[in-house]
Amino acid sequence: MSDDTAVQARRREIASEHLLFKLIEYVEQRHPGLLDYLEGSLDHLGDPARDETKDDEAVRGIARRMITGARAEVAE
């Protein structure tokens, strides 16, 4: 992957995470229970890598931190 491609991918990831996070907050404020539902789904979340970088628990950890952050934002 070229440097420009990597930069564009990083920017898309940052933008996507921001929009998803805000969407989660918005829905949770209007329909409480979404965060509980998402948290309950984490056992099914995994890393699709097929090499030594595969780490299902690291992926779940990121999701848990996002849920924790969303809970804090909704509580404010």
34-67, pLDDT tens digit by residue? 999 999 999 999 999 999 999 999 999 999 999 9
**pTM of the prediction?**
0.79
Q: Which residue has the higher pLDDT, 3 or 64?
A: 64
3-state secondary structure 49-71: CCCCCCCHHHHHHHHHHHHHHHH
- Confidence check: pLDDT of 11 > 60: yes
Q: How confident is the model at residue 1 (pLDDT cuts 50, 70, 90)?
A: low
Under 8 Å between Cβ of 74 and 25: yes
